[in-house]
Amino acid sequence: MREMISILPDEVTTAKLHGYLLGAVGPRPIAFASTLDENGRPNLSPFSFFNVFSANPPILIFSPARRVRDNTTKHTLENCLKTKEVVINVVNFDMVQQMSLSSTEYPEGENEFKKAGLTMLASEVVAPFRVAESPVQFECKVIKVEALGENGGAGNLIFSEVVKVHVDKAILDENGSIDQRKIDLVARMGGNWYSRANEGLFEVPKPLSSLGIGIDAIPAEIRSSTVLTGNDLGMLGNVEMLPTEKEVQEFLASNVELRVIISADDKKLIHSKAQEYLHKNDVLSAWKVLLSN
| Residues 158, 62 contacting (CB under 8 angstroms) | yes
Amino acid at 132: A
Question: In sequence order, what are the residues at sequence separation of 6 or more whose Cβ sits closer than 8 angstroms to the Cβ of residue 19?
Answer: 190, 191
pTM above 0.85, yes or no: no
Give the pLDDT score at 204: 66
pLDDT (tens digit per residue) in 25-81: 999 999 999 999 999 999 999 999 999 999 999 999 999 999 988 998 999 999 999
pLDDT tens by residue, 172-200: 999 999 999 999 999 999 988 999 988 87
The residues spanned by each domain of the chain are 9-200, 215-291
- pLDDT (average), residues 149-161: 95
* 130-134, 209-213, 253-257: range with lowest mean pLDDT: 209-213
Given a cut of 90, is residue 133 above it in pLDDT?
yes
Whether the per-residue pLDDT at 231 is higher than 70: the answer is yes
Q: How many other C-beta atoms lie within 10 A of the C-beta of residue 190?
A: 16
* Residue 170 pLDDT: 98
Question: What class, spelled out in words, does domain 9-200 have in CATH?
Answer: mainly beta
Q: Report which DSSP code applies to 46.
A: E
Segment 12-27 mean pLDDT? 94
